[in-house]
């Protein structure tokens, strides 16, 4: 559905008195197959939006190639636009317009007849829980309703591929969870492909089959959320022993599971990151039992995507969230 090779975009900008060329996206290779939900993760200024704008034909690449839904973004922009839906972060409807009329009018820009556009818009209102809001002005709708209206705008022409730019930014937890269901349904009920950018790691984790991490204009990792977590961080296992004098033995048992690593020891607690701790846990407990090490507690914490992000880019995405 999306295939890019060496896709790059640079901008000319002024730094002091000099005009300099800034490379926002420095040659990315992306492959997204039909029916996938792929998350595009990165801090502000990493190149997320620039990449998205190139893939949606809003910006021309300065180097490399990209085909979207089988069409070249540079030479077949019109065909690309007919095949994709785009839900921008900034919205898509006038605050003073009527919600239903906005979706119908948008459908007509895709070539649907007035009757067809209205039928489709009413169907989407029903599917996206917008019943009864047909005549409502977007400015009188809640944040969650407006986002669902934006999604209806993006889906009105039955696109095979949908781009969602930060779909749940600014929504309350309930509205986010509700929107996640609708995004997941894009694939499960319609067989669609979704490419979404997000700041929220839990969102990428919950929704995406695969995650691409971009930093400084380059893709620094791409895999399933689980594989990314395993690959980079491992699970954190924390053993609190009943007798602090035996903590050394607990640390040795932990280290045996992660060759070449040493457990961190602190006041009766030994902790170490172990790949796939779930599988090792039973053996670990047996070994400790054999050695007569009594445990007060055991805690296994699966790595979050934030851990992944931190190890890949050297900074936490949560800090970005706060700053954003």
* Interacting residues toward other proteins by CB under 8 A: 56-60, 78-79, 81-82, 84, 86, 88-98, 101-102, 105-106, 108-111, 138, 150, 153
153 or 308: whose CB is closer to other proteins? 153
Dihedrals phi, psi of 191, to nearest 5 degrees: 65, 20
68 or 221: whose CB is closer to other proteins? 68
Residue 98 beta carbon to other proteins: minimum distance, rounded to whole angstroms: 8
Residue 95 beta carbon to other proteins: minimum distance, rounded to whole angstroms: 6
The Cα-based distances of 239 to 58, 255, 256, 303, 304 in angstroms read 53, 12, 14, 17, 20
CA dist 10 and 23 (Å) reads 4
85 or 222: whose CB is closer to other proteins? 85
Residue 181 beta carbon to other proteins: minimum distance, rounded to whole angstroms: 23
Residue 55 beta carbon to other proteins: minimum distance, rounded to whole angstroms: 10
**Number of helices and strands (H, E) in the chain?**
12, 14
Question: What are the residues facing 30 on neighbouring strands?
Answer: 4
Residue 200 beta carbon to other proteins: minimum distance, rounded to whole angstroms: 20
Task: Give me 299's structure tokens.
Answer: 């805690």
Buried b (16+ CB within 10 A) or exposed e, 98-119: bbbebbbbbbbebebeeebbbe
4 or 313: whose CB is closer to other proteins? 4
CA dist 246 and 185 (Å) reads 52
Residue 145 beta carbon to other proteins: minimum distance, rounded to whole angstroms: 15
67 or 261: whose CB is closer to other proteins? 67
93 or 313: whose CB is closer to other proteins? 93
Q: Which residue has the tokens 């039909």?
A: 34
The Cα-based distances of 162 to 18, 96, 228 in angstroms read 39, 26, 24
Burial class of residue 140 in the structure, from the number of CB atoms within 10 Å of its CB (0-12 exposed, 13-18 middle, 19+ buried): exposed
Apex 209 CA angle, 206 and 211, nearest 5: 90
Residue 94 beta carbon to other proteins: minimum distance, rounded to whole angstroms: 6
95 or 283: whose CB is closer to other proteins? 95
Residue 176 beta carbon to other proteins: minimum distance, rounded to whole angstroms: 19
21 or 96: whose CB is closer to other proteins? 96
139 close to 100: Cβ distance less than 8 angstroms: no
């Amino acid at each position: 559905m999306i295939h890019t090779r060496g896709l790059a975009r640079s901008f000319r900008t002024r730094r002091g008195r000099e005009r300099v060329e800034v490379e926002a996206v420095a040659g990315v290779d992306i492959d997204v197959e039909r029916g996938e939900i792929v998350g595009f993760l990165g801090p502000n200024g990493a190149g997320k939006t620039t990449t998205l704008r190139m893939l949606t034909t809003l910006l021309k690449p300065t180097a490399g190639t990209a085909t979207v839904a089988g069409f070249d973004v540079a030479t077949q922009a019109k065909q690309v636009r007919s095949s994709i839906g785009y839900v921008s972060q900034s919205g898509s409807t006038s605050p003073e317009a009527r919600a239903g009329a906005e979706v119908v009018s948008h459908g007509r820009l895709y070539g649907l007849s007035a009757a067809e556009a209205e039928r489709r818009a009413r169907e989407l209102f029903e599917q996206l829980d917008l019943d009864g809001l047909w005549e409502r002005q977007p400015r009188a709708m809640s944040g969650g309703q407006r986002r669902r209206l934006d999604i209806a705008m993006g889906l009105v022409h039955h696109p095979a591929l949908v781009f969602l730019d930060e779909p749940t930014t600014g929504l309350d937890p309930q509205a986010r969870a509700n929107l996640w269901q609708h995004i997941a349904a894009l694939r499960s009920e319609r067989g669609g492909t979704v490419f979404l950018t997000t700041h929220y790691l839990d969102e990428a984790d919950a929704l995406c089959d695969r995650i691409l991490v971009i930093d400084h204009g380059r893709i620094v990792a791409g895999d399933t959320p689980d594989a990314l977590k395993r690959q980079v961080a491992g699970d954190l296992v924390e053993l609190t022993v009943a007798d602090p004098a035996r903590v050394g033995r607990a640390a040795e048992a932990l280290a045996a599971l992660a060759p070449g690593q040493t457990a961190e020891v602190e006041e009766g607690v030994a902790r170490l990151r172990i790949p796939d701790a779930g599988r090792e846990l039973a053996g670990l407990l047996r070994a400790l039992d054999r050695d007569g090490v009594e445990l007060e507690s055991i805690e296994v914490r699966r790595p979050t995507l934030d851990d992944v992000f931190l190890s890949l880019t050297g900074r936490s995405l949560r800090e970005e969230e706060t700053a954003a």
